[in-house]
Amino acid sequence: MTRSDARVVEMYDRHPISTAQIMAKLKALRGGLDGLDPSDLYDHDQDHYGGLDANRALARRAGLKPGMRVADFCAGLGGPARFFAREYGVHVTGVELNASRVAGACELTALVGLEDRVDVIEGNVLAVPLPDRTVDAVISQEALLHVPDKAGALGEAWRVLKPGGRLVFTDWIAHRPLDGADTDILWQGLAAQSLQSIPGYETLLSQAGFELEAGEDLTREWADILEGRFKMYRALREETSGAGLPAGEEAFYRAYVRLVDLVKSGALGGGRFTAGKHIRGGTED
Give 119's strand partners.
Answer: 93
**pLDDT at residue 60 in the model:** 98
Sign of the torsion angle spanned by Cα atoms 43, 48, 51, 56: negative
How confident is the chain (285 residues) per 10-residue block, as mean pLDDT?
94 97 96 96 96 98 98 98 98 98 98 98 98 98 97 98 98 97 98 96 98 97 96 96 96 98 98 91 53
Please check whether residue 171 is in contact with residue 140, taking contact to mean a CB–CB distance below 8 angstroms: yes
Model pLDDT, residue 279: 72
For the structural domain made of 3-172+196-218+272-276, what CATH number should be given? 3.40.50.150
What pLDDT is attached to residue 280? 64
Position 211, amino acid: E
> Looking at residue 284, what is its pLDDT?
59
* Cα atoms found within 13 Å of the Cα of residue 151, Cβ hemisphere only: 7
Asked if 119 contacts 146 with a C-beta cutoff of 8 angstroms, the reply is: no
The model's pTM is 0.95
pLDDT of residue 1: 83
C-alpha pair distances (Å), 114 with each of 71, 75, 100, 111: 16, 15, 19, 8
For residue 105, which phi and psi values (nearest 5 degrees)?
-60, -45
How do the domains of the chain map onto residue ranges?
3-172+196-218+272-276
Which amino acid does the sequence have at 116? D
58 CB burial (10 A radius; 0-12, 13-18, 19+): buried
